[in-house]
Amino acid sequence: MKKKFIKNVTIFLSTLFITQTILSGCSMSSSKVSSVDKKVLKNDSIKNSPQINKEGLPIVDKDSYQFSLFVDNRTPLDNQFVWPMLEEQTNVKVDVQQYPYEIAKEKYGLALSSGDYTDVIGGWCISPTDILTYGVNMGIFIPLEDYFEKYAPNIMEVLEMPGVRETMTAPDGHIYAIPFVSKSPKVHFNPYINQKWLDNLGLKMPTNTEELREVLHKFKTEDANRNGNPNDEIPFSADPNNKHLGLLAGWFGLPIDSSGFTMIDGRLEFGANREEYKQFIEYMASLNSEGLLDKELFTQDLATWKGKGEQDLYGVSIAYWSADFKKIPLNEVPDFKPLPVLKSPQCDDPKWLAFTTGIQTLKSQAVITDKAKNPEIIVRWWDNLYEVDNSFQAKNGPFGKTCEKIGENHYKLYDKSKLSDEDNDKYSFDNIFCQALPTNIPPDLKLDKETPDLYDEKKDTDELYEPYFVDGVIEDFWVPSEYSAKFAEYSKSITDYINQKTAAWISGQADVNKEWNDYCKQLEKLGLQEYIKIRKEVIGQI
C-alpha cells in the first residue's frame, strides 16, 4: 500500500494546476437524496448504459465509454503504463485529473460544494466523515454494494474477508467506497535518525530524551554531514503533512494521535489535555529554543521538506519511511535508522501507539459520484484492476521488465540493478501508477526476489517499537447520522485548536506553562466532553 495508509502520502506542491478545475458533465444539486432516490439513480443509469459485457473482457465496445477520475498524485501520468494497459483490456478510457495533495485537498472541497466534480473521486482527500456527509446525507457518493454483487467478483472476494464488510458498511447499511485491504506496518509515522551522521561524529544511538538533545547539538555544531559548512545541518524536522508530533508524548508515557486521543489500558481516552502531553511540549519547546528544530517545522510544504532532505540536511525527521525525504541508492542500506522509543526524566516506561494490527482496511479511498452515467461499468473496470496480476503490476511494474508471475498468487521481482537508470526511474513505485488509489494485493501473496532486501526499514521499526505499544489500537469508526454534524464540528474545532496551540508553544510564540490552564478550559468550551462521549459511544465503550 502507500504505503501510507495513514494514512499517508508523498506529494510535491505544484503551482501549474492552480487554475484548473475538476470537471465532469453538468452540475447536479447536492441536496439530500433519500434511499429511494438512490435506487432510482442506479436503475436509470443501467437503462441508459452502452452495451456492457457482464463477464470477461473487454467490458464495452471500443471507444464507447469514458469516465473522469480525480485523485491526489504528484508524478506525471506519462510514465504510468497501467492506464493504457487497463484501457487495452477493457476498452474503457479514464480521464485522470490529478493534483499534488495540498492542491487536491483544496480543489476537492471546492468541487463538492460547487457541484463541479468528477465521476470518481479517489485518494487521500476523502475521509470517513465525507462518506457520511456526501454519501449517507447528500447522495453525491452513491451506494455500491448492489453493483459489487452483480458485477465485481474480485471486489466481493475482498469484501467477504473477515471484518471487511462490517468496516465498509456505513450506518445506513450501504457501502459507498471501493474496499481497500492490505498488509500494513504497525508503525506508520515515526522519527528516523541519520546513522551516517552518528558514525561521522562517533556518537551512539540515543536512548533517552537528554541523550537525543546532546546528539542534536552535535549534529548542529560539528558539520555532521561533512560538507564543510558547519551551519547548514537541521537537527530535527518532520513531514509537513504528517507531523504526528503527539506520538512523541509517548516518551513521557502517553502517545497521542493526530485527533488528540490515546489508549489507556485498552480503552480509548483523550490525551491532549494531560500532563504527559504538556511535558512533551515543554521538551520540544526547549529543543526549539536551543535552535535544534527546523525553523520551518510548521510552515514548510512537502516539496521544501523533501528538498532539504535530498541535500542531506536532516539529523532526525519524522516520516513514513526515510525514503520519503532521502532517496536510497539501489542496493544500498539507507543512511537513516528508526529512532528508538526514548525514555525521559519524567518516564522510565515510555509508550508508543500502533496504527494497525498488521492488516488495514481503508474505507474511503475511492468513491463513485452521482455524475457517473454508468456506475456498473466503472465497478467492472475497478474489478478488473483488482485482478491480482493487474494490481501487482500497478505496485511493482510490468511483467517482463521488473517482475513475472510464477503461479497463482505467486510472483517474482527481478534484480533492479540490471535495469538502466532510465528504466529504474520509469518503473519506480511512484511513477507507475497513482498509488493513492485502491488495488488488490492479497495478504497471502507469495513473493520471490532475485535480490533480497538489504534492509527492511518498516519491519525493523515494527520490531523495535513493538515492546512499547500501548494496549490496543485506535479503531476506525463510523459516526451515526444523528451525531455526524455535531461530531464534525467538534472534531474540526478541537483538532484545529490543539494544532494551533501546539505549534505556537513549540515554536516559542507562546508559553505552554502560562497558557495551559486556559487551553484546557477552552477545550471544554469547544465541546470536548461531548466529543469524547460520541467517540466512545460509536465504538461501544459507553
Separation in Å, CA 65 to CA 27, 52, 68, 93: 20, 10, 10, 7
Cα separation, 405 vs 413, in Å, equals 9
Cα separation, 107 vs 104, in Å, equals 5
How high is the pLDDT of residue 49?
62
Q: What is the per-residue DSSP string for 57-97?
A: S-SBSTTSEEEEEEEE--S-STT-THHHHHHHHH-EEEEEE
Amino acid of residue 371? K
How high is the pLDDT of residue 32?
33
0.85 exceeded by the pTM?
no
Whether omega for the bond prior to residue 58 falls within 30 degrees of 0, making it cis, is yes
How high is the pLDDT of residue 100?
92
Distance of CA 509 to the CA centre of its chain: 30
- 145 Cβ contact list (under 8 Å, min separation 6): 169, 174, 175
**Cell numbers of 324, please?**
520519503
The residue among 475, 486, 6 whose CA lies nearest residue 261 is 475
Phi, psi of 106 (to 5 degrees): -70, -45
Cα separation, 258 vs 318, in Å, equals 14
Cα separation, 382 vs 180, in Å, equals 11
How high is the pLDDT of residue 31?
32
- 452 Cβ contact list (under 8 Å, min separation 6): none
Q: How many helices and strands (H and E) does the chain possess?
A: 19, 15
How high is the pLDDT of residue 454?
80
How high is the pLDDT of residue 524?
98
What's the CA dihedral at 308, 312, 315, 316 to 10 degrees?
50
- Please list the rounded mean pLDDT of every run of 10 residues in the chain (542 residues): 36 29 31 33 46 94 95 93 97 97 94 97 92 92 98 97 94 96 94 98 98 98 95 97 97 97 96 98 98 98 95 98 90 94 98 94 96 98 98 98 97 93 92 97 94 88 98 88 85 96 98 98 98 90 79
